[in-house]
Each structure stands twice: as structure tokens, then as C-alpha cells.
Amino acid sequence: MAERSNRQVGETLYFMGQLLEVLGENPFKVRAYYKSAEVVERLATPVSRLDEEQLREIPGIGSAIAKKIREIVETGTFHELETVRAGIPEPLIELLSLEGIGPKTVNKLWKKLNVQSIADLEREAKQHRIRAIKGFGEKKEESFLKAIALYRERSGRMTRAEADAVVGMVVPVLEPGTFAMAGSYRRGKSTIGDIDIVSKEPPSVANPKIRTVAEEMIDEGAKKTSFRCLGKRVDVRFSRPEQFGSMLLYLTGSKPFNIRMREYAIFKGFKLNEYGLEDRSSGHLSEFATEEEIFSFLGMDYIVPELREDWGEVEAALARRLPVLVEDREVRGDLHVHSTWSDGVMSLEEIARAGEARGYEYILISDHSATLGIAHGLDEEGLRKQMHEVEVTNRSSSCRLIQGTEVDIMADGTLGLPARVLADVDVVIASIHSAFSQERDVMTRRVLAAVENEHVDIIGHPTGRILGRRQPAEIDIPRVIERAAETGTALECNASPFRLDLDDLYIREATRKKVKIAIGTDAHHPEEFGNIRYGVITCRRGWATAADLLNTMSHKELMEWV
DNA sequence: GCCGTTTTCGGCCCGACTGTTTTCAGTCG
């Protein structure tokens, strides 16, 4: 039987939450299902391996949901879900994806007009039958049609590069020094839903400038403005400078982190909101210009944005046991770069100059092996010629090029170059570039074979995902991490904004198991060297310290490590 | 349905904005 992935289990729990919500169930019960879904999906360990008792120990999962998870693992669903599902038309749930439509609206449309799908809603709105319902009017009909149109052309979450493009449009119209980025952008997530900004400028000053870059103003109030830019939603909250810290804390989130912080504030006798901390007995409001002052006021260490996920960081901050995360400036080199010897556009000379310009000690030249047809890879002879050119280039460069290769992990788990060649290469990255749809067991064994190969130093982009285009391959990453810990193999955090692979949760699992992480940009073009920051921030989200990375080692230490 | 630094029962974050309303419900973040 195929093992159920955490994603599948999470989606099932999430679906239950949606069904209950549309039925008008107790909102806290609904929240419990959503919360458990989220917890399961960001757990590195597969829930299918945990028994009921172990599941119950996970915060957010109680005895009822623990039982249901076991049921999902064994049967793919659970009895109560099937009972509830039978009473609701399936396409109804999709209506929840429309902007401005929540469970109450879905329920009302269903009960009053027998709307069961988006197509039904579109028809009813066009024929002006919505306005017949009490509480709904002409504007609702318009907004439903607009939401449907928007949903059909939806482009989903942004890569970090796309988000940077939106930011690049908006930021130039704002006054320098008067604003800060917030939301998932600031937290460094690998994909971004919308762009959040906190501004000290009053809306009367900022809004006219914003309109010049907005395709559409979604709403404009005295305290916030929402608009669309490059098709993406941007939210701006306005704040007085004295309250800037509270507003930034609030808008940075995450939502679970905010809830945790506000609960803790209640425990300490305060109400926490975006304006400050209000003493619950006296009503006195303390204001904070910076986030640091808020953490200090509550008696905890400062939590950097990357850690704000309610992932144990609040407890760690209270106990003053937060990790010291790796920083950009500690990175001494890039561990995955392609040259004109395979599918890159840079010569070795150009790569060395780029490395010097960035102040790097070294760059790992990791061109493809010849098995990958599309990438014009190197065979044994080509690789030996490249070794010579690397040597020559290094004579006149302060940034050392390290001879490496990115060798294919073939469908059967063997490598694309013979062992005698790999033995002569300083650093070997082994990656999967083909046969992504193998079954989980086959796929996992394939990667494990590479981990166990004595010549392999790093597993490149381990899950193979391409954000928005290709799901992660069916690989048991926790098992790969366990084995990598035993063999001393490093795992890559590929810094391409289209990959960010491994992602934060596996980085955290890997560092817990003392597996080293190698950040590589996979750069094929000179402008891609800057992507290293996406890799660093992803590692920070995975609680990685400088000691967890290969990139923080000196050239000498790195060579000793391999 | 979860959880307990105040609780094994009774809470569960907090506020902005829109549309449809004469005071609020619903949605969103």
C-alpha cells in the first residue's frame, strides 16, 4: 500500500474544516481542523509512521483528530468526513476560493438559490437573482462576477523573484525611510501570496502616489489601502511613527505567530494589537516605535521575522534559547554554478571575476554530466579538460574555483559518470533530472543509493520541485536525511527562486540530525549569483546556524570536509 | 476540537473595511 503523505493527510483534514465551515459548525472546531491540517503539512516526519499516542503529543492534535489521522493513513479518509460530505454538493466548496465569499455566503447561496457551483453562481448573478436575497444587493452581484473572473485567471502564489518585481514597482513611489516590508515577504517564505507594507506616511500623501502604479484600487480606507499591481494584491497599513513597531509586528505575522503572541499577552494581563499593548485592568496603552521594544516589554528575546511561524520560537524566546541564525555576510562561497562547459553562459574566467566581486573565497564549478542531453553535459574527456582550465584560472584569481560536477542520478540509482572520474573531482553534487514520476519506494531507493555512494558529497535540489510547475518528487526525505547523517553526505538548499529545495521544514529536520547544508545558486547567468540570499533566508527559516552550512567554511575547511 | 504558567470546563486574537444596513454581518489579514 502506498504511504499517505503528510500533504494528503493535511488536505483531508483541511477539507473537513471547509465542509464544517459551510455547514455553519462551531468556528473553533473548524479552526481546530485547519490548525491540525497546517501542523501535519509542516511536519518533517511522516504522520503515517506515528501511532495515536505520538500524534496526540503534537500541539494542535488532540485525541479526536489523532484517531482520524490514523483512519486517513489506513483508508484515505475517515468515517465522519464521509458522512458530512454526503450532505453537501462537492463543487460548493470551490466557491470558498472566490475573493469576498466565505462560508456564510456559500451557505446562503446554496440554501436560498440552490447554487451548487461557480457556474451556478455566475448564472444567477448575470440574471440578477442574487439581489432577491435579503442582505444582498446589486454590488454583491457585481463583486461575485468579478471574483469569478479573477479566480479563473488566478496565478497563485508568487516566487520570490516575482514578488521582488512587484516590490520594485511599488517601492520607488514610497518615501525612503518611511516604510517597511512585512508579511511573508519579510519572513522569507519560499513563495509569497501578497505583498504587505507598513507606511509612516499618511494615506492622503501615499495614496495618490500608489494610484500611479496600481492597476486597480481594491479598497481605500483611513487606515489601510489595498490595490493590485502586476496582477498581485498589495496591502499597505498606515501607522504613526510611535506605533510603527506594533504595526510591523502585526503585519509581518504569521497568523499563527500573532495568535500565539496575543495569547501570551493576555496571560500577562495585556491586549496586543497593531497599536500597542493595552493593560487589561487600567486600559493604559503602551506604544512601541520598534518591534524590539515589544519583545523586551513582554520579557522575551527578539524573534527575527524568519522564525515567526509558531514553530516553537515563542517558547524559545521566553527561555532565551533562540538559535543564532546564519547571516548573508557569513557565506564564503557559492556551491553550485554552471559555466559554458555545460549549459551556463559564463566562462570560468567570468565566474572567477564575479566571485571576486562578491568577495567570495571560492565557487564550486558544477557542470552537468553528459547523460543530460539537453544540458550539453561533460563526459570524462571534457571534464578532464575543464580541470586544466580551472587550474589555469585559479592562478590569477583570489576567488578559487573548485572542480566539481553535477552528476545525474540515473533512473536505476547509478551515477552518470564512472567512479574513477568522480574520484578525481573535488566536490560531487548528485541530482535527479529525469524519471520524476517513479513510485515512492523506487524514487527513495534511488536517492539513497546516491547518498551511500562514497564519491557523492552533496545531493542537489533533493525533492526536484519547481515552484508553481512541478510538485516535489515522491521521495521519503526524512529517510534521506537519516541516511545522510550516517554517511556524512550534505544536502543542498538550492537557492534558485524557482526551487528553494530543500525548503525550511527539511532544513530544520536536517540540521537537527547534524546533516550539513550546501547553499548553491545553480547560477547559469551572472545575475543569478545574487539568488544566494534566497538560499540563506530559507536556511534561516529552517533554524540553521553558521555551523550547519558548508558555505561558511573556509576553502581549507571545506576541502578537509570532503 | 484543543487546551490548561488561570481552567479538565469554558474559554478560544483582534481590528479594518464593504455592503447593506439604521447597528451589523461577513470577510479578510
Closest-lying nucleotide for A196 based on CA to C1': B29
Closest-lying nucleotide for A278 based on CA to C1': B14
The percent helix, strand, coil of chain A (3-state, each to 5) is 50, 15, 35
Distance A63 CA to B3 C1' (A): 12
The CA-based diameter of chain A, rounded to the nearest angstrom, is: 81
Distance A266 CA to B8 C1' (A): 21
Distance A135 CA to B16 C1' (A): 20
Distance A135 CA to B21 C1' (A): 8
Angle at A427 between CA A424 and CA A429, to 5 degrees: 115
Distance A94 CA to B20 C1' (A): 25
Strand, coil or helix: A276: strand
Q: Mean pLDDT score of chain A, rounded to an integer?
A: 93
Closest-lying nucleotide for A263 based on CA to C1': B13
Closest-lying nucleotide for A62 based on CA to C1': B2
Distance A260 CA to B13 C1' (A): 8
Distance A258 CA to B29 C1' (A): 11
Closest-lying nucleotide for A107 based on CA to C1': B26
Strand, coil or helix: A561: helix
DSSP secondary structure string, A457-474?
-EE-STT--BTTTBPPPS
Closest-lying nucleotide for A222 based on CA to C1': B16
CB-side neighbour CA atoms (13 Å) of A118: 16
CA distance A128 to A74: 47
CA distance A169 to A171: 6
Give the pLDDT of residue A323.
Answer: 95
- State the CB neighbour count (10 A cutoff) for residue A3: 14
Distance A439 CA to B20 C1' (A): 54
Distance A33 CA to B3 C1' (A): 14
Give the pLDDT of residue A375.
Answer: 56
Please name the residues in contact with A2: beta carbons below 8 A apart, sequence gap of 6 or more: A439, A440
Give the pLDDT of residue A333.
Answer: 98
Please name the residues in contact with A124: beta carbons below 8 A apart, sequence gap of 6 or more: A109, A113, A115, A130
Cell numbers that stand for A553 in this block: 567554511
Query: Which protein residue has its CA closest to C1' of B28?
Result: A100
CA distance A505 to A363: 27
Chain-centre distance for alpha carbon A162: 14
Closest-lying nucleotide for A67 based on CA to C1': B1
Give the pLDDT of residue A538.
Answer: 97
Query: Which protein residue has its CA closest to C1' of B5?
Result: A267
Query: Which protein residue has its CA closest to C1' of B11?
Result: A28
Distance A259 CA to B1 C1' (A): 17
CA distance A158 to A229: 13
- Beta strand A191-192 with A285-286: parallel, antiparallel or unpaired? unpaired
Closest-lying nucleotide for A266 based on CA to C1': B13
Q: Which bases in strand B are touched by protein, i.e. have an atom under 7 Å from a CB?
A: 1-6, 11-21, 25-29
Strand, coil or helix: A46: coil
CA distance A503 to A495: 10
- Its pTM surpasses 0.85: yes
| Each residue's pLDDT tens digit, A62-72 | 999 999 999 99
| pLDDT tens, chain A, 562 aa long | 567 889 999 999 999 999 999 999 999 999 999 999 999 998 988 999 999 999 999 999 999 999 999 999 999 999 999 999 999 999 999 999 998 999 999 999 999 999 999 999 999 999 999 998 988 999 999 999 989 988 887 777 899 999 999 999 999 999 999 999 999 999 999 999 999 999 999 998 999 999 999 988 888 888 999 999 998 999 999 999 999 999 999 999 999 999 999 999 999 999 999 999 999 888 899 999 999 999 999 999 999 999 999 999 999 999 999 999 999 999 999 999 999 999 899 999 999 999 999 999 999 999 998 875 555 788 889 999 999 999 999 999 999 999 999 999 999 999 999 999 999 999 999 999 988 888 889 999 999 999 999 999 999 999 999 998 888 999 999 999 999 999 999 999 999 999 999 999 999 999 999 999 999 999 999 999 999 999 999 999 999 999 999 999 999 999 999 9
| Each residue's pLDDT tens digit, A240-265 | 999 999 999 999 999 999 999 999 99
Closest-lying nucleotide for A31 based on CA to C1': B1
Query: Which protein residue has its CA closest to C1' of B20?
Result: A135
CA distance A409 to A377: 14
Distance A223 CA to B17 C1' (A): 9
Closest-lying nucleotide for A139 based on CA to C1': B19
Residue A225 near residue A219 (C-beta atoms within 8 A): yes
Closest-lying nucleotide for A135 based on CA to C1': B20
Query: Which protein residue has its CA closest to C1' of B21?
Result: A135
Query: Which protein residue has its CA closest to C1' of B4?
Result: A267
Distance A275 CA to B4 C1' (A): 29
Distance A510 CA to B3 C1' (A): 30
Distance A258 CA to B13 C1' (A): 7
CB < 8 Å & 24+ apart, contacts of A122-126:
A122/A148
